Each structure stands twice: as C-alpha cells, then as structure tokens.
Chains A and B, each alone.
Chain A
Amino acid sequence: MDKTTKVVDLEKVVIKFAGDSGDGMQLTGTQFTDTSALLGNDLATFPDFPAEIRAPQGTVAGVSGFQIHIGRIGINTPGDIADVLVAMNPAALKANKNWIKKGGTIIVNIDTFTKRDLEKAGYESSPLEDNSFEGFNIIQAPITKLTRETLKDSGLDGKSIGRSKNMFALGIVYWMFNRPMEQTEKFLKKKFAKKPEVVAANIKVMHAGYNFADTIEALPSSYTVLSANLEAGTYRNVMGNQAIAWGFLAAAEKANKELFLGSYPITPASDILHELAKHKNLGVKTFQAEDEIAGVCAAIGASFAGSLGITTTSGPGLSLKGEGLGLAIITELPLVVVNVQRGGPSTGLPTKTEQSDLMQALYGRNGESPSVVLASSTPGNCFDWAYMASKITLEHNTPVVLLSDGYLGNGAEPWKIKSTKDMPEINPRVAVEGEEYQPYARDEKTLARKLALPGTKGLEHRLGGLEKEDITGNVSYEPDNHERMCYLRAEKIKRIANLIPEQEVYGKEEGDLLVIGWGGTHGSLYSAVDNLLNEGEKVALCQFNYINPLPKNVETLLSKYKKIVVCELNSGQFANYLRMNFQGTIFNQYNKIQGFPFTTSELESHFKTLLAK
C-alpha cells in the first residue's frame, strides 16, 4: 500500500471509537491500543460502556465508547477530548458531541443516519445537514454498505457481515495513523481459529476500510505518532485489573504461599477473578463463591489454613464483606480486600468510576476496627500495590483494603515488565513446630502476632470473633483487656508507618499551591500540575498511595505550601480525613461526582483560579 498523501508527525493524539454497545467498539479500541503499544507509543485508554449488556439499539443510553490517547511524550491520561471521533451511528455522535475538539475529525457511518436511527438518537433532523458540526472535518463513510459489498461473495449470513463493520472503521483509523494491520490480523486468526471464514471476512473488511481511507479525498493527510521516549527495557500493555492479579501472583510466589481468591462476580472487578482463574498452572486457587460474604469468608478460612487469602469486589460488595473484614481484624489474619470502586451509593453507576468508598474502606465496620488502606494510582502500578498489600498483610497479620477504581481497572498503559527478583522480600510471620506458641504474643517492634497453621503438631489453638485475651488468645470479657486489645490493634497499624517510604511530591518542594490527590486521579492531576510547572508556577502534586497509615512526613510537607487543594472524585472524603489528622491546616477541595475522571483542563483552570486569589 503506497502512501501518496503527506504524512504529518504528531506529538500526541486522542481517538475515540463510539457506537452501539453491540458494535464491537471495545474490541476495536483494544486492537488500536495493542498495535500502538507495539509501535512503542506511550498511551492511556478509557473504555466507557453502559451498564446494560445490550441497551436499546441506536439510543444514546446504549452508546459504548473507547478512548485512547497515544503519544511520543509522557501520556498520563486518556485525554480530555478527542481529536478524532469514530461514530458508528447518530447516537454515538450525539453522546460525544461535547467531547470532540473544535476542528477535529469525525468519521461517521453515514448509512446509519436514517430517519429511524436519527429519531432513536433524539435528533429531529440530521445534525450533519445543519450547522451543528460546522468547522469539523466530517468524513461520511458508507461503512455498512461497503462492508456488505466487500463480503457479498463471502458466503456469510447478513448478521455476521453486519458484525464485521467495526473492522472497516478500524481500517480507516489504521490508515489515518499510519499503523500496520499485522497485529490485528494475528489477533483475528487466534480468536476465530475455528472459523477461518470469519477470519478472512474480518481481515478483508479491515483492508477495505484502509483502502477506502487511502482512496477518498476527504482525508487530507495521514498522521504518524512516533515512539515514546520511555525508559529502556521490555514493555507490554497492561490493564489495571490484570496488573492487580499479577501483583498477587508475584507476591504469593515470592512469599512461598499459595494464593487463594474467594470472589463473587461484580462490575468492574470481575476481570481480576477471570485473570487469576486462568493461571491455575501457577498454583492459584480461585473460588467463585455463592455471594460476596462467602467470598471473603472463604479467603479468611484459606489464610487461617496457610494461604495468602484475598477477595475482590466493588463498592456494594465491600459493604457485604464488612463483617468478615472485622473478623480478620480481631483474629489478626492475613487478608487483602480489593475494591475496584464504582459510582454509588447502592448499585449506583456500575460501569462508571468514582472514589467514594474511601470512608467505607477506613471505617465501614462495627467496633474499633482499624484496617490498612492502600490505593493504586495507575493501571501499571496496580501490580506494585497488590504486591505491597500482600507483603503488609503477610508480615503484619492484619487485613489490607486495596482501593482501585473502574478507570484504573479497565484502563491500559504500557508497562515496563518487572522481574520478581527485583521485588522486595516477603517474610510471613508463621510459627513452626516445637516453638513455644502463644497465639497473641507479639513482635516487639511491629506488634504483629504469629500464625500457627493447622497441621502443625503441638500448636493447636482456637481463634474467633469474641474478644481475645492478650498473649493467650483465650476468650476474655475483661474490661481492661478489651481496651488494651483495641489500642494494640490500632497501634499495630500505626507502626506500619515506620516501615513505609516518606511521601514524595512532584514539582516544587515548597511554593504557592500543593495539589493533593489519592489513587486513580494521578494521571489527570499530574498532567495539570505539569502544565502549570511548565508555565513557571510554584506548584506540586502530592498523590497518596498509603492512606492508612499515612506516611510520617505528611505534616511537614503540608507546611511548605501557601495553599492546599485536595482533588477527588467524591464530595471530599480524603479532605475530611486529612482535616481529622492535621487539624489547623486549611484544605481547599475540588470534587467531581459525575462518574468520569477529571479532565486536565478543568483542573488547570481551577488551580489557576486558586493561584490568582
């Protein structure tokens, strides 16, 4: 395929694929992602789909989107708004009309702009025929018609032919961005290995789309995005949920423990269960329980018997696991609870992202029941935080809640592959045969007790949810003992702060504005702060991963800035937590509860307002 059109180099570009939830947009986006990753682009993705599996066809509610930001320079977010939008129907155009850059390119499947489909999308007349999209570069591609034409001799039925049209759109975008199609061809051959006719049809349609783009004059130029300047090493693409699963596998192997996952399917956390269920060869035991409660309880049972017991869930599931978590706290057993947060309360917004379970993670249990709380902040570092959560729970014998979110879980980025030999050692605290054993005797420094595993001769003992007597672990209703135990359990968590690194900032070490974030907002906060730093502002970003305990230097750090703003996707839960911990410090808030991540531009403009005051 000769390219006669001129090729323009781009620093970075945001592309969004949008269509009906049955149009295969997630697959199309993932393919473009994988191909770009293999070309060495830095990237970030944002799949955004409805909660319904097949919402009414052609409606705005049924639009599924996949946004990808690729570039040769540091990409930290999936981009605020798209440079290029692929809209497979009028509803997809309508849903994204405010999320496309003025003057950007919109590729529409013009065959769907019929009276019926326009009506379903809530348009009275075609927005392409009035001035709604004036100033945009609209490419009207007859995708349905040309897909049918391409496959008319394929022998496939109409339904299968219709399903291939996403490949036509992908072909167009591959041409626009000068991407090779081999990666997707390879993927199709593997995915449909038993249906060679489907493989051939999809490849043919993709090529047809590519050639269509090459032929028509509507595309003024083709773009190329050069490889990113990433650190040297071997890379792969990872999604947050996958990275969490792998972090646990790595930790279990390093700790010489069997990994046990007790879980119940829930959006957007199920992919962790799916990923771990694939790797029985690595010794992981996955148990799809009858409900969320059984998931956490089986994990605690497995920890009691010597495994690294973990459970994975999202908001409503964490509510159900609260009592189990309390038992793991009083019995001081290892347990990691992963909460891939979504919009709440109740069922809320299952497929949208939010950070509103922070208080639940910190306090959502009866009694004085402190838990370690960690948060991952990029799809790639989900690996490290799952690993760290495992290390803490096994070495301190106390449960850890790891907060991720839908945005991280489903988002992808290039990840420099780690080697397990470079990961820190994990030394589980377990008693051995012959040892003088008291179930609640503690390590002087960390206050962690030791486990004695069933099957170990001579160390028989009983654990339970009734208050434990200090040292012996016998049931005790004695008032002073209860108070002592409450303080011991809290102190044990506090002392973890002695072992974790100091909190770092990105940007100025002192200055006018400290931007505080935690967890999954890292990408957008980083980009906004970076832009302000480039403009010469004295700002810094402080993104927290250790939530409880907080690193020890936080108070000193806070005192070095004139203003502080805490940004989070909730109404101010972390801000209030900081107020409780650092009374006297003034924390401004910037909050968003729309089910979407922050955009870099809204952050930047808010920070500028704060700096100007």
Chain B
Amino acid sequence: MEHLTNKDFISDQEVKWCPGCGDYAILRAMQKALPALERKKEDFVFISGIGCSSRFPYYMNTYGFHTIHGRAPAFATGVKLANPNLSVWQITGDGDALAIGGNHFIHALRRNIDINLLLFNNEIYGLTKGQFSPTSKKGIKTKSNPHGTTDEPFSISDLAIGAQGSFFARVVDTNPKLMQKIFTEAEEHRGTSLIEILQNCVIFNDKTFADITNKDVKLDAQLFLEDDKPMLFGAEMNKGIVLNGFKLEVVTVGENGVTEKDILVHDSTEHDPTLHAMLARMRPPEFPAALGIIRKVSRPTFDEGLLSQLEYEKENAKFNTVDELLQSGDTWKIK
C-alpha cells in the first residue's frame, strides 16, 4: 500500500466557501483522516447534493459526483451497489438531507447501505441566502419568514433512530481531532454511518451553536461520550448524567451523596435505542450536548444482502447465460 498524506487528497480547485465558514475545518479534517484509513485513493468516492456543503467533492482529489438537490443518498446507493468495494461518502446539509431529500435520507438509514453520511447542520439555508431550514430553531426570523418561523425543527437523531439508523455521531466543526476519530470509526462501521456536524454559518446564522461551542460555556455544555466511560463533563469533570426514573438528570459527583458509580456508563452498541435517543436530545442550558459516537450497532447491510442473494442465485441457477434464458420455457420449431 502506497503511503498517502493529506496533500494527496487536496484537489487543484480553489475553495470558494465564505471566509470563516466551518466547512473549511471539516474539509481539512477529512483530508487528514483519509490517509490513516489505509485504502487506495482511487477507491474513495465523494457524493453530494446541492448546497454550500455539497461543493465539498470538488475540493477532494478523489472520485466525486456533485449531483442534484436532495438525491445524493440515491446516487450513493447506486454507486455502492454497483461497486461494493468503494468507500462511499455522502456530503449533505440540513436543507439537502432533511427538506428536499428527507425521503431518501430516511430510506438510506432504513436499508443500512454501507455509506458514510456527513450532515453539515448549520440550521439555515446558505446557498440560497438565508432562508430557514428544517433544523432552524423555532421563531427564528429570516427573509422567508420575517415574523419568525412557526415550524418545529426536526431532531436529526430521532429521525435517524426512527429510521433504524445503526450509527449516529455528533461533532462540532471546531473539533478537528474528534472529527478525524469519528470519520475513521464511521468508515469502519458497516452500514449507514450518520455524522451530524454542528457547523457554523458565519454569514446567515452566526453563533447559532454558541450555547454549545463558546469558550466560556463549552466545558459545561459538551459531553464527550466514549464507550465504557462514565458520562462526566465540566471544568472539573465532576458533573455527570444519571437516570432518574424515566428521565436524565445532571448531578455533581461528591454532592448529595452522588459517587462516580452512580453516573451512567456509555454503551454505543446497545441495540435498544431509548437511552441513545435521550442522550442525543440533550441540549444546553439544562444539559450538555452529547458529542462523539452515540450509537453504533451491528446489523446486516443492504449491499451485503443483495450481494449474497446474487452469489446464491449464480451458484444455484439452472443457467448462467442470456441465450439459455431466451431458450428456456415453452418453445417450438418451425421448419
């Protein structure tokens, strides 16, 4: 295997996102993560729909396909089924994946096709200049609803879990190390790996995630989930999450008789999605936002299923050529 570096993945195209856009950091993290996967460069394919994030494939020196609005999961499915040996990455945004492409998004997760799906969530439409998106906070004032939206936003994690998603991770665009780690695990996971990236749009929705990412709050507002580790956070790592009845609760270790043993321990591989859904829904100020790999369960993938049927049929069929098919069944001769 030829050794690759991040430079091998930088295309010759000028990157045209707005200065300060969170997309730059995601692009750099991806270019750094890929060499470590030890796959051939020609086996990576990046597929996107429409939107700011969807320009991503042009900047990667891999095979790439910038398709049409909302439909990237369908293209990615076709690519993966046609050549299961490829490492297929879909780049999408909250409008592309959840508004125009909502249907394809849930069906990709349901089928568990083996692709990695990066959802850049900036809670706004950037490329069309600032309309609200299906994840915009309720009440936000934009050009397309100057009096404030009356739409409820989607919860991406709940959609993913409801669609039987097998992998759900969340990361903020300012954390390149965690991005690289998650990209690597997503590639290793067989099935649709959904990564929600909280991405800041400096132009149309600046600081929408400030309650999570601001320096002065982030230690109390971010919980990094790791398997087999207690769910501790805070500047002194003494705050933790416990289950009180059917609800999550923030406690402080050392107060009111709480010890580290009382704190929930993360298990991303648990098939029952209840706790994963509760954790993913947490938001400041009551809770920290859960980051890292929240859910990663093993279940059969769509592509493996199709391939094994194909193999079985090839081995057990009465014929394997089209001529034999044409001659099969009832035929008669005319002389």
**A residues touching B (Cβ–Cβ < 8 Å)?**
34, 37-38, 40, 183, 227, 230-237, 246, 249-250, 253, 258, 260, 262, 279-283, 285, 287, 289-291, 293-295, 297-307, 309, 323-324, 326-327, 331, 417-421, 453-466, 474-475
Contact = CB atoms under 8 A, between A and B. Distances in A.
Nearest to B70: A293
A121 to B, nearest CB: 37
A458 B63 CA distance: 10
B75 interface: yes
B331 A34 contact: no
A235 B329 CA distance: 11
Nearest to B75: A301
Contacts of A458: 42
A287 B302 CA distance: 10
B79 A302 contact: yes
Given A236-B331, A418-B326, A454-B86, A298 B78 contact: yes
Contacts of A297: 67-68, 71, 74-75, 78, 104
A258 B321 contact: no
A249 B328 CA distance: 14
A68 B326 CA distance: 23
Interface in B51-88: 57-58, 60-68, 71, 73-79, 81-83, 85-86
B107 interface: yes
Contacts of A227: 334
Contact of A301 (B50, B82, B310, B329): B82
A304 B334 contact: no
A461 B63 contact: yes
25 contacts: A38-B330, A40-B332, A249-B325, A260-B81, A281-B317, A287-B78, A289-B74, A289-B107, A293-B71, A294-B104, A298-B81, A299-B78, A301-B74, A302-B79, A303-B78, A304-B79, A305-B78, A455-B42, A455-B86, A460-B41, A461-B64, A462-B66, A463-B65, A465-B50, A465-B66
Contact of A454 (B13, B63, B77, B314): B63
A303 B309 CA distance: 21
A304 to B, nearest CB: 6
Nearest to B106: A290
A331 B68 CA distance: 12
B82 A457 contact: no
Contacts of A457: 40-42
A294 B76 CA distance: 10
Interface string B295-321: 000000000001001100110110111
Given A246-B325, A475-B58, 11 more contacts: A37-B332, A227-B334, A246-B322, A281-B313, A281-B314, A289-B77, A297-B68, A462-B13, A463-B65, A465-B66, A474-B13
Contacts of B332: 37-38, 40, 234-236
Given A458-B42, A459-B42, A464-B67, A290 B107 contact: yes
A322 B179 CA distance: 37
Contacts of B82: 258, 260, 285, 301-307, 309
A260 B331 CA distance: 28
B78 A309 contact: yes
A321 to B, nearest CB: 11
Contacts of B60: 462
Interface string B266-310: 000000000000000000000000000000000000000010011
B333 interface: yes
B11 interface: yes
A258 B67 CA distance: 22
Contacts of A454: 42-43, 45, 63, 79, 83, 86
Interface in B211-251: none
B287 to A, nearest CB: 34
Contacts of B321: 253, 282, 420
Nearest to B58: A462
A381 to B, nearest CB: 14
A281 B319 contact: yes
Contacts of A230: 334
Interface of B: 11, 13, 40-43, 45, 47, 50, 57-58, 60-68, 71, 73-79, 81-83, 85-86, 103-104, 107, 306, 309-310, 313-314, 316-317, 319-323, 325-327, 329-335
Contacts of A460: 41-42, 61-64
Q: Considering residues B103, B320, B331, which has the most beta carbons from chain A within 10 angstroms of its beta carbon?
A: B331
B63 to A, nearest CB: 4
A279 B325 contact: yes
B75 A456 contact: no
A516 B323 CA distance: 35
A588 B74 CA distance: 45
Q: Considering residues B42, B45, B310, B323, which has the most beta carbons from chain A within 10 angstroms of its beta carbon?
A: B42
A280 B310 contact: yes
Contact of A232 (B63, B81, B335): B335
Given A231-B334, A280-B309, A324 B68 contact: yes
Contacts of A327: 67-68
Contacts of B317: 281
Nearest to B72: A297
A291 B108 CA distance: 12
Contacts of A309: 78, 82
Given A280-B314, A304-B79, A40 B334 contact: yes
A279 B310 CA distance: 9
A38 B332 CA distance: 6
Q: Considering residues B61, B67, B85, which has the most beta carbons from chain A within 10 angstroms of its beta carbon?
A: B67
B60 to A, nearest CB: 8
A303 B75 CA distance: 10
B325 A419 contact: no
A249 B83 contact: no
A412 to B, nearest CB: 12
B66 A464 contact: yes
Contact of B79 (A305, A326, A331): A305
Contacts of A462: 11, 13, 57-58, 60, 63-66
A66 to B, nearest CB: 18
A34 B330 contact: yes
Nearest to A248: B322
Contact of B322 (A237, A304, A307, A420): A420
Contacts of A280: 309-310, 313-314
A107 B205 CA distance: 76
A304 B310 contact: no
A394 to B, nearest CB: 14
Given A34-B330, A455-B43, A459-B42, A250 B322 contact: yes
A420 B323 contact: yes
Q: Considering residues B43, B47, B83, which has the most beta carbons from chain A within 10 angstroms of its beta carbon?
A: B83
A280 B312 CA distance: 9
Contacts of A231: 334
A283 B104 CA distance: 25
Contact of A233 (B42, B103, B319, B333): B333
A39 to B, nearest CB: 8
Given A234-B331, A282-B325, A301 B68 contact: no
Given A280-B310, A282-B322, A465 B67 contact: yes
A474 B16 CA distance: 14
A419 B79 contact: no
A294 B74 contact: yes
A324 B323 CA distance: 33
A456 B42 contact: yes
Nearest to B43: A455
Nearest to B87: A454
A34 B58 CA distance: 56
A36 to B, nearest CB: 11
Nearest to B329: A236
A253 B325 CA distance: 12
Nearest to B86: A454
A377 B33 CA distance: 55
Contacts of A302: 78-79, 81-82
